């Protein structure tokens, strides 16, 4: 079946749920055994729940994987992946990435002996050198958050596998509608389902999808043992969002490209970081490994942080808030918001500067979004 059909039907058979067209919310902590030493398909909701199973099956189908796992948050999903590794492990990590992932790697996992080695994954020679020194995994964001750099998924996966490492790709920014990392050799896909997959800014969640049954067994054990799973109410909401993922992503992209092109021509904008623009240095790679460009991108304003702050104070339609991927347009300042936990020297090394603004372009009328930014830019 095609993507839009899978998004609506995968993981749910109405005949299995009294004919319910939407998967019911199984709001129960435990399930009755069929007899002594005879559990049914579910026994305890930490170990499995029919609502969660419907979401997990749907996400696996959308990514082209064999098994999916739903988690309470995106960070719970990332933590579960990282628990695959033991003290002494080395992970090659994209050098610019989400602040929460950096904090998890540096403040939690480095403390227990899992070392993150930061490399610009666009530089394949640097990737090869880091892997040759010994590594168990490569951690990829593509596009990166918030600089919108792209990683050649196929090339990095080949290098990783040649050196005995697995590849993990955060696919949150594009969703499986616009990018399917398994097609390029990636081993593990992670998502913050809070973002585009849910799409309505009313739930937090995470997901892991894998192809290898052996990896699936390990993730399943960790999800149950650590209790990082998502609850049935949250799974229901994410399933509700998934059903409109395809149509939402098309509209997010249309609006975002319209805003990006307008900003690129504005005299108060220093640069627009959007892979869909020919000016992006990896525009060709974007066309090669992505079906679309998503709805989130960043730009730099002339005048530094002071000008950025004045713009953020002046917008009316865009909401000043963290997160992304909802139907409403959001705007944020990475240095003081999503990446506030990262040391200034590290931010500088990443290239995340005070003049940088990230926007998640929603589904409002494009003319209203441009008018809002135009009015705000007049005040800087």
Distance (Å, whole) CA 124 – CA 117: 15
Look at residue 235 in the predicted model and tell me its pLDDT. Answer: 98
Q: How many CA atoms lie within 13 A of 179 on its CB side?
A: 32
- Burial code (b: 16+ CB inside 10 Å, e: under 16) for 264-302 equals eebeebebbbbbbbeebebbebbeebbebbbbbbbbbbe
The fraction of the chain above a pLDDT of 70, given in percent, is 100
Under DSSP, is residue 119 helix (H, G, I), strand (E, B) or coil? strand
Look at residue 33 in the predicted model and tell me its pLDDT. Answer: 95
Look at residue 162 in the predicted model and tell me its pLDDT. Answer: 98
Give the bridge partners for 319, in sequence order: 330
Q: How confident is the model at residue 10 (pLDDT cuts 50, 70, 90)?
A: very high
Order of strands, edge to edge, in the sheet holding 330-332? 269-273, 296-301, 356-360, 330-332, 319-320
Q: How confident is the model at residue 303 (pLDDT cuts 50, 70, 90)?
A: very high
Look at residue 248 in the predicted model and tell me its pLDDT. Answer: 98
Catalytic residue among 98, 118, 177, 236: 98
Catalytic residue among 46, 254, 291, 302: 46
52-99 per-position pLDDT tens digit: 999 999 999 999 999 999 999 999 999 999 999 999 999 999 999 999
Say if residues 206 and 76 touch (Cβ distance below 8 Å). Answer: yes
Look at residue 30 in the predicted model and tell me its pLDDT. Answer: 97
Q: How confident is the model at residue 100 (pLDDT cuts 50, 70, 90)?
A: very high
Look at residue 77 in the predicted model and tell me its pLDDT. Answer: 98
Say if residues 338 and 298 touch (Cβ distance below 8 Å). Answer: no
Catalytic residue among 195, 248, 300, 358: 195
- Considering the domain 245-377, what is its CATH architecture? Alpha-Beta Complex (3.90)
152-177 per-position pLDDT tens digit: 999 999 999 999 999 999 999 999 99
Q: How confident is the model at residue 112 (pLDDT cuts 50, 70, 90)?
A: very high
Map out the domains of the chain as residue ranges: 3-242, 245-377
Look at residue 223 in the predicted model and tell me its pLDDT. Answer: 98
Question: CATH for 3-242, among 3.40.640.10, 3.10.50.40, 1.10.10.60, 3.30.420.40?
Answer: 3.40.640.10
Distance (Å, whole) CA 55 – CA 70: 7
173-191 per-position pLDDT tens digit: 999 999 999 999 999 999 9
- What's the whole-number mean pLDDT along residues 302-330? 98
Q: At 54, give phi and psi (nearest 5°).
A: -60, -45
Q: State the DSSP H helix or E strand holding residue 118, giving kind and residue range, or none if neither.
A: strand 115-119
77 contact partners, CB below 8 Å, separation of at least 6: 69, 71, 190, 191, 192, 206, 207, 208, 228
Catalytic residue among 96, 152, 170, 187: 170
Active site residue 170: yes
- What's the whole-number mean pLDDT along residues 202-217? 98
118-155 per-position pLDDT tens digit: 999 999 999 999 999 999 999 999 999 999 999 999 99
User: Token digits for 282?
Assistant: 């990896």
């Amino acid at each position: 079946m095609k993507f839009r059909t899978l998004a609506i039907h995968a993981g749910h058979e109405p005949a299995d749920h009294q004919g319910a067209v939407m998967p019911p919310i199984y709001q129960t902590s435990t399930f009755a055994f069929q007899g002594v030493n005879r559990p049914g398909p579910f026994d305890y909701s930490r170990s499995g729940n029919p609502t969660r199973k419907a979401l997990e099956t749907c996400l696996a189908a959308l990514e082209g994987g064999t098994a999916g796992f739903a988690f309470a948050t995106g960070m719970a999903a990332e933590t579960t992946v990282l628990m695959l590794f033991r003290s002494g492990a080395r992970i090659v990590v994209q050098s610019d990435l989400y602040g929460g992932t950096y904090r998890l790697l540096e403040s939690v996992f480095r403390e227990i002996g899992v070392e993150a080695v930061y490399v610009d994954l666009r530089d394949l020679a640097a990737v090869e050198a880091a892997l040759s020194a010994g590594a168990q995994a490569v951690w990829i964001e593509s596009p990166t958050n918030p600089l919108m750099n792209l990683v050649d998924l196929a090339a990095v996966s080949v290098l990783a596998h040649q050196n005995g490492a697995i590849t993990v790709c955060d696919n949150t920014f594009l969703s499986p509608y616009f990018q399917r990392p398994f097609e390029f050799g990636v081993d593990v896909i992670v998502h913050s389902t809070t973002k585009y997959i849910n799409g309505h800014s009313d739930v937090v969640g995470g997901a892991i999808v894998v192809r290898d049954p052996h990896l699936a067994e390990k993730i399943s054990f960790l999800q149950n043992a650590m209790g990082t799973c998502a609850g049935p109410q949250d799974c229901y909401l994410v399933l509700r969002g998934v059903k409109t993922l395809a149509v939402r992503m098309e509209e997010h992209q249309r609006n975002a490209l319209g805003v990006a092109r307008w900003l690129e021509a504005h005299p108060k904008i220093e640069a627009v970081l959007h892979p869909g623009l020919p000016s992006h240095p990896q525009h060709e790679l974007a066309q090669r490994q992505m079906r679309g460009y998503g709805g989130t991108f960043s730009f730099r304003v002339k005048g530094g942080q002071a000008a950025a702050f004045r713009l953020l104070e002046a917008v009316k339609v865009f909401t000043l808030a963290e997160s992304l991927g909802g139907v409403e347009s959001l705007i944020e300042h990475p240095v003081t918001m999503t990446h506030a936990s990262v040391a200034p020297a590290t931010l500088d090394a990443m290239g995340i500067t005070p003049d940088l603004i990230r926007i998640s372009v929603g589904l409002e009328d494009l003319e209203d979004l441009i008018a809002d930014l135009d009015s705000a830019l007049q005040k800087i």
